[in-house]
A and B are shown apart, each in its own frame.
Chain A
Amino acid sequence: MGRIVLDQVNKSFDGVEVIPPLDLTIEDGEFTVFVGPSGCGKSTLLRLIAGLEDVTGGQIHIDGKDSTQLAPAKRKLAMVFQSYALYPHMSVRNNIAFPLKMAKLGRDKINSKVMAAAEVLNLTDYLERRPGLLSGGQRQRVAIGRAIVREPKAFLFDEPLSNLDAALRVEMRLEIGELHKRLATTMVYVTHDQVEAMTMADRIVVLKAGNIEQVGSPLELYSKPKNVFVAGFIGSPSMNLLEGPEAVKLGAKTIGIRPEHLSISDQEGVWSGIIGVSEHLGSDTFFHVKCDAFPEPITVRASGEVSLHYGEKVFLTPNHAHLHLFSDDGLRIA
Chain B
Amino acid sequence: MARSNSMQLKMLTTVAAWSIGLMIFFPILWTILTSFKTEAQAIASPPLFLNFDWTLENYQVVQERSNYMRFLWNSVFIAGGSTLLGVLIAVPAAWSMAFVPSKRTKDILLWMLSTKMLPAVGVLYPLYLIFIELGVLDTRLGLIVVLMLINLPIIVWMLYTYFKEIPGEILEAARMDGATLKSEIFYVLMPMAVPGIASTILLNVILAWNEAFWTLNLTAAKAAPLTAFIASYSSPEGLFYAKLSAASTMAIAPILILGWFSQKQLVRGLTFGAVK
Please tell me whether chains A and B touch each other in their complex, using a CB distance cut-off of 8 A: yes
Seen from chain A, the residues whose Cβ lies within 8 Å of a Cβ on chain B are 50, 52, 71-74, 77-79, 81-83, 85-90, 98-99, 102-103, 146, 150, 156
CB distance from A146 to the nearest CB of B (A): 7
CA A103 to CA B173, docked complex, whole Å: 14
Given A89-B191, A89-B192, A102-B183 in contact, is the A71-B169 Cβ separation under 8 Å?
no
Question: Residue B173 contacts which of A71, A74, A85, A89 (CB distance < 8 angstroms)?
Answer: A85
CA A85 to CA B174, docked complex, whole Å: 9
Residues of B within 8 A of A82 (CB): 169
Q: Indicate whether B61 reaches chain A with its CB closer than 8 angstroms.
A: no
Q: Is the pair A73, B178 in contact by a Cβ cutoff of 8 Å?
A: yes
Question: Residue B172 contacts which of A85, A88, A90, A98 (CB distance < 8 angstroms)?
Answer: A85
CB distance from B260 to the nearest CB of A (A): 26
CA A73 to CA B172, docked complex, whole Å: 10
Residues of A within 8 A of B133 (CB): none
Given A83-B167, A87-B188, A88-B192 in contact, is the A73-B180 Cβ separation under 8 Å?
yes
Q: Is the pair B177, A102 in contact by a Cβ cutoff of 8 Å?
A: yes
Contact with A along B154-176 (1 / 0, CB 8 A): 00000000000001011011111
Question: Residue B175 contacts which of A52, A86, A87, A146 (CB distance < 8 angstroms)?
Answer: A52
Q: Is the pair A77, B176 in contact by a Cβ cutoff of 8 Å?
A: yes
Assuming A78-B177, A87-B188, A89-B194, what are 12 further A-B pairs, CB within 8 angstroms? A72-B176, A73-B178, A73-B179, A77-B176, A78-B176, A79-B172, A87-B174, A87-B191, A98-B179, A102-B179, A146-B173, A150-B177
CB distance from B198 to the nearest CB of A (A): 14
Seen from chain B, the residues whose Cβ lies within 8 Å of a Cβ on chain A are 167, 169-170, 172-180, 183, 187-188, 191-192, 194
Question: In the complex, what residue of chain A is closest to B175 when comparing beta carbons?
Answer: A72
CA A83 to CA B167, docked complex, whole Å: 9
Question: In the complex, what residue of chain B is closest to A72 when comparing beta carbons?
Answer: B175
Question: In the complex, what residue of chain A is closest to B179 when comparing beta carbons?
Answer: A102
Given A85-B169, A87-B170 in contact, is the A79-B178 Cβ separation under 8 Å?
no
Residues of B within 8 A of A86 (CB): 170, 173
Residues of B within 8 A of A85 (CB): 167, 169-170, 172-173
Residues of B within 8 A of A72 (CB): 172, 175-176
Given A52-B172, A81-B172, A85-B173 in contact, is the A102-B167 Cβ separation under 8 Å?
no
CA A263 to CA B174, docked complex, whole Å: 54
Given A81-B169, A85-B172 in contact, is the A99-B192 Cβ separation under 8 Å?
no
Residues of B within 8 A of A50 (CB): 176
CA A50 to CA B172, docked complex, whole Å: 10
CA A85 to CA B184, docked complex, whole Å: 13
Residues of B within 8 A of A87 (CB): 170, 173-174, 188, 191-192
Q: Is the pair A102, B178 in contact by a Cβ cutoff of 8 Å?
A: yes
Question: In the complex, what residue of chain A is closest to B191 when comparing beta carbons?
Answer: A89
Which residue, A73, A78, A90, has most C-beta atoms of chain B within 10 A? A73
CA A82 to CA B191, docked complex, whole Å: 22
Given A87-B188, A89-B192 in contact, is the A99-B169 Cβ separation under 8 Å?
no
Q: Is the pair A81, B178 in contact by a Cβ cutoff of 8 Å?
A: no
CA A146 to CA B170, docked complex, whole Å: 13
CA A332 to CA B22, docked complex, whole Å: 83
CB distance from A215 to the nearest CB of B (A): 25
Residues of A within 8 A of B177 (CB): 73, 78, 98-99, 102, 146, 150
Question: In the complex, what residue of chain A is closest to B187 when comparing beta carbons?
Answer: A98
CB distance from B103 to the nearest CB of A (A): 9
Residues of B within 8 A of A150 (CB): 177-178
CB distance from A149 to the nearest CB of B (A): 10
CB-defined A-B contacts under 8 Å, sample of 21:
A52-B172, A73-B180, A79-B172, A79-B176, A81-B169, A81-B173, A83-B169, A85-B167, A85-B170, A85-B173, A87-B170, A87-B174, A87-B191, A87-B192, A89-B194, A90-B191, A98-B177, A98-B187, A102-B178, A103-B178, A146-B173
CA A274 to CA B176, docked complex, whole Å: 56
CB distance from B23 to the nearest CB of A (A): 44
Residues of B within 8 A of A81 (CB): 169, 172-173
Question: In the complex, what residue of chain B is closest to A50 when comparing beta carbons?
Answer: B176
CA A86 to CA B167, docked complex, whole Å: 10
CB distance from B159 to the nearest CB of A (A): 17
CA A85 to CA B172, docked complex, whole Å: 8
CA A79 to CA B170, docked complex, whole Å: 11
CA A82 to CA B168, docked complex, whole Å: 12
CA A98 to CA B177, docked complex, whole Å: 7
Question: In the complex, what residue of chain B is closest to A83 when comparing beta carbons?
Answer: B169
Residues of B within 8 A of A74 (CB): 178
CB distance from B166 to the nearest CB of A (A): 9
Residues of A within 8 A of B175 (CB): 52, 71-73
CA A228 to CA B176, docked complex, whole Å: 37
Q: Which 3 A-B pairs have the closest CB atoms?
A: A99-B177, A85-B173, A102-B178
CB distance from B31 to the nearest CB of A (A): 42
CA A72 to CA B171, docked complex, whole Å: 12
Residues of B within 8 A of A103 (CB): 178
Question: In the complex, what residue of chain A is closest to B103 when comparing beta carbons?
Answer: A14
Question: In the complex, what residue of chain A is closest to B177 when comparing beta carbons?
Answer: A99
CB distance from A115 to the nearest CB of B (A): 19
CA A263 to CA B188, docked complex, whole Å: 59
Residues of A within 8 A of B174 (CB): 87, 98, 102
CA A98 to CA B169, docked complex, whole Å: 15
CA A74 to CA B179, docked complex, whole Å: 9
Residues of A within 8 A of B173 (CB): 79, 81, 85-87, 146
CA A103 to CA B167, docked complex, whole Å: 24
